[in-house]
Amino acid sequence: MLQTVVIIGAGPVGLLLAHYLLRRGKYRIELYEQRPDPRLVDASQDRTFPLSLQARGRKALRQIRGLEEAIAAAGVFCNGSKIYRQKGKTREISRVVPLLTIDRNRLVMILLQHLTQTDNSEQLTVKFGCQCVGVNRSAKTVTLQPEQGEAFTLTYDRLVAADGVRSPIRDYLVQDAGLQCEQTYIPDAYKSVFLTRLNPVLGLELEPDKIHGWNRDNRTRMVMVPQPGDQLNGVITFDAQDNPLSSLTTQEEVLPFFRENFPLFGQLMSTEEAEAFWHRPVGQVFTVRCDRFHEGDSILLMGDAAHAVSPAMGQGCNASLEDVLIFERLLEQYQDDWALALPTFSEQRVPDAHALRELSDYSFPRTKWLFVEFFLRSQISRFLHQWFPQWVQPFVFDLVFDHDMPYSQVLNLHQGWINKVKRSSPHLA
Ligand SMILES: Cc1cc2nc3c(=O)[nH]c(=O)nc-3n(C[C@H](O)[C@H](O)[C@H](O)COP(=O)(O)OP(=O)(O)OC[C@H]3O[C@@H](n4cnc5c(N)ncnc54)[C@H](O)[C@@H]3O)c2cc1C
């Protein structure tokens, strides 16, 4: 007898989990997503951005045959970053292990296409344009509202909240089941930006295998990532309380703003993009810290719904995909007994999620001198680790990116650095 698992949210986590569970052959999967089907309508570019996937995320993808290769083929490998400055100086930071970068919507599309072609796909239902609007955990039901027509209720054996940072299922558990959850807005807000990597008229061509960054000042910066087709996708981030874009009064002011503040990127922006940028919403980021990731023997929180972090370190999706790998290992260990797997998942994963929040907030230096120290420490540790791997661990970013050591262990090793960054930026603490 197959168990019915209802997954809410067809983002990276919901889709990867569906792959893993279908493969086990013991589940019927019903996946519901509020956004429209990306195979039928062009996905909105309002809230998409390139994700960098590293060791942890890629390890989780690799467990499903063909998935990592398909994602790599649709993304771009970057072997370092170039940071530009107003005064024309450029700093290069190289990476030993290249980063796989891919646009979020494209990642989702590949996960979905592969999912619908799996062997057990007759045990799968995926419905788009269908929003979860209610949960009743004693009756084990969820209520869904399709874009058109009446709301309907269905019964689940297990319910997975893969519904992202604003998770309504998490909110329900906070109100109804005593889940302790802290949601904190971080100072940085963002807007997506889409440029081209080339401007033949001006003879401009940005390297296709580097992440390109421009820091206007401590708080306003752009990060642009090459994507297939000579695209350059990324975001402008700024202090939500002191939004430099709020001084723009018409869409005609967008191009001059970029040309003045980010001259290089301004020259790669088309007038169509300037217009689209004007209409795009500002994304406000907040973090989520929960005391557990499950309720009873039947409700599981995963990914951003359980532990959204600041995007500064580019770990949210990696950690979320790693959740899926860790949970499946527990299902294997406990022979699919969710009453055992769920509390063990919380026990194992909550300390790592809390550590990741700390690492994401405070690994990256915010002052000039700490940046120099950060750079030197990274280089020296890389060199020494190569020769004495048993004694010298890589510095914090390399350890998080290129290894799958639990985040809580990484934090233990680098607590001194984290404390230093915290002291240097008290407004973030
Ligand atoms: C600017 C920016 C840059 C980032 N860069 C990186 C990076 O480089 N590397 C990295 O690892 N991470 C990065 N992240 C974080 C990453 O985007 C998230 O951690 C990741 O998308 C989490 O996946 P998820 O499936 O848990 O949630 P989501 O991607 O948010 O997906 C949740 C899905 O649930 C759906 N949903 C929500 N509510 C309902 C409902 N009521 N009913 C039905 N469906 C619902 C949503 O529509 C959505 O499709 C970045 C984030 C931001 C904002």
Sole residue written with tokens 């959850």 = 181
| Of the candidates 413, 418, 398, the residue with the CA atom closest to the CA atom of residue 55 | 398
Nearest residue by C-alpha to atom 29 in ligand 1: 11
Ligand 1 mean position, distance from CA 89 (Å): 34
Helix (H) or strand (E) holding 372: helix 368-387
> Checking DSSP bridges between strand 299-301 and strand 158-161, what pairing results, if any?
parallel
Average pLDDT over residues 374-393: 88
Q: Could you tell me the CATH number of the domain that includes residue 29?
A: 3.50.50.60
Q: Percent helix, strand and coil across the chain, each rounded to 5?
A: 45, 30, 30
How much is the pLDDT for 379? Answer: 87
* Whether residue 63 is found in the same domain as residue 138: yes
- Which of 269, 284, 299 marks a domain boundary? 284
- Mean pLDDT over 2-25 rounds to 97
User: What is the predicted pLDDT for the residue at 426?
Assistant: 63
Q: What is the pLDDT of residue 366?
A: 77
Q: Which atom of ligand 1 is nearest to the CA of 237?
A: 1
Which domain, by its residues, includes 242?
78-102+187-284
Residues 57 and 138 in one domain: yes
Ligand 1 site, residue 285, Cβ cutoff 6 A: yes
Are 54 and 121 in a shared domain? yes
Are 129 and 146 in a shared domain? yes
Q: What tokens were used for 369?
A: 């001198």
Give the model's confidence band at 389: pLDDT under 50 very low, under 70 low, under 90 confident, else very high: confident
Gap between the Cα atoms of 24 and 18, Å rounded: 10
Residue 11 CA, ligand 1 centroid: distance in Å: 6
- Judgement on whether residues 70 and 98 belong to the same structural domain of the protein: no
318 lines ligand 1 (CB under 6 A): yes
DSSP string computed for 95-130: EEEEEEEEEHHHHHHHHHHHHHTSTTGGGEEEESSE
Please say which residue of 260, 284, 308 terminates a domain: 284
CA-130 nearest atom, ligand 1: 43
The pLDDT value given to residue 328: 98
If one counts the domains in the chain, the total is 3
- The reply to whether 175 and 192 lie within a common domain is no
407 lines ligand 1 (CB under 6 A): no
Residue 356: both structure tokens together: 């990741």
Same domain, 261 and 337: no
Q: Looking at 226, 252, 284, which one is the last position of a domain? A: 284
| Claim to verify: residue 175 and residue 213 sit in the same structural domain | no
Q: Whose CA is nearest to atom 38 of ligand 1?
A: 163
54 lines ligand 1 (CB under 6 A): no
Whether residues 133 and 247 fall in one domain: no
Confidence check: pLDDT of 42 > 90: no
Tell me: do 202 and 237 sit in the same domain.
Answer: yes
**315 alpha carbon – ligand 1 mean position (Å):** 11
If one counts every other C-beta atom within 10 angstroms of the C-beta of residue 242, the result is 10
pLDDT band at residue 429 using 50, 70 and 90 as cut-offs: low
- Could you report the per-residue pLDDT of 333-369, keeping only the tens digit for each? 999 999 999 999 999 999 999 999 999 999 988 788 8
144 and 61 within one domain: yes
CB atoms within 10 A of CB 46: 12
Which strand (E) or helix (H) includes residue 29? strand 27-32
Same domain, 62 and 153: yes
- Residue 48 confidence class, pLDDT cut points 50, 70, 90: confident
Residue 263: give its domain's CATH number. 3.30.9.10
pLDDT tens for residues 60-77?
Answer: 999 999 999 999 999 999
Q: What's the CA gap between 413 and 16, in Å, rounded?
A: 31
